[in-house]
Amino acid sequence: MFALVCLALFGAVIAAHHSQPGFDPNDKPITIKGTVAEYRWRNPHVLIFWDVKDDNGNAVRWVGEFGSISTCLSRGMSKTTFKPGEEIALTGIPAHAGTPVLQLRKIVKADGSTVATTPE
């Protein structure tokens, strides 16, 4: 009985944390090339920031979110997977708001190796 009460009380909170209201999984993924600016290896989500040149040649800082550290470890990633200055191509679902944010699907490094961020 206690477990059912807890599920009823906290189930919505857990689902809300993992919802992605700013992204539509039915949208077509896009690929954006850029240079790693920062890679944050921390919970609850690992983040990568990269710079992309806009049409005027100005750098725009994008952000992409991975899963937790344990999820990233299970996909072969580590805290040294990306280094500032490294060229990468990131594929993901863009934010509806038009902000420079991607819900990441995969990253391809300059050497052609693929870093999977979500199951195919």
CA–CA distance, 37 with 95 (Å, rounded to integer): 20
Domain range summary for the chain, segments of one domain joined by +? 23-116
Instruction: Give me the tens of pLDDT residue by residue for the chain, a chain 120 residues long.
Output: 544 444 444 444 444 444 455 766 667 899 999 999 999 999 999 999 999 999 999 999 999 988 899 999 998 899 999 999 999 999 998 988 889 999 888 999 999 999 877 765
Say yes or no: domain 23-116 is CATH 2.40.50.140: yes
Tell which residue, 92, 89, 86, 120, has the closest CA to residue 104.
Answer: 92
Query: pLDDT tens for residues 40-71?
Result: 999 999 999 999 999 999 999 999 988 899 99
